[in-house]
Amino acid sequence: MAQLNSIHDQQQAALYDMNNVSKMKLLSIHAPEAMRAFVAFDKAALAEGAIPGKYKELIAMGVAFTTQCPYCIDIHVNKAREWGASDQEIAECVLIAAALRAGGAVTHGTHAMKGI
């Protein structure tokens, strides 16, 4: 691994270390009711229903790409693959997320335009 030269580099590396997910148990210790409610909500939202599990994970991936959460990307890409998502489906999901993010920039950019 390349040497981390600055405090910022070290903080960034630590901030997005997947081992930090294990610290979620501390949330359960310090805010047990809220954490139980969050886990139950998360489980219910991603459970198979009218939308199959694979599609829910693809949706979650698109949101994660847009919010740029490395934890969510890692977790939901792996879960989507467990549901059988292909590289082609994941690639299309990436580009859908990119198109929506770009679309938001374009539509919000209209606020900068002078009227006709």
List Cβ<8 Å contacts ≥24 apart for 68-77: 70/16, 71/16, 71/18, 71/20, 71/21, 74/18
pLDDT at residue 20, as a whole number: 86
Residues 29-47 pLDDT 10s: 999 999 999 999 999 999 9
Confidence (pTM) = 0.78
- Give the right CATH number for 50-111 from 3.30.465.10, 3.40.50.720, 1.20.1290.10, 2.40.37.10: 1.20.1290.10
Comparing 115 with 85, the larger pLDDT belongs to: 85
| Span 57-84, average pLDDT | 96
Only one residue has tokens 């390349």, namely: 2
Residues 12-24 pLDDT 10s: 666 688 888 889 9
Question: Would you put residue 68 in left (φ > 0), alpha (ψ -120 to 50) or beta?
Answer: left
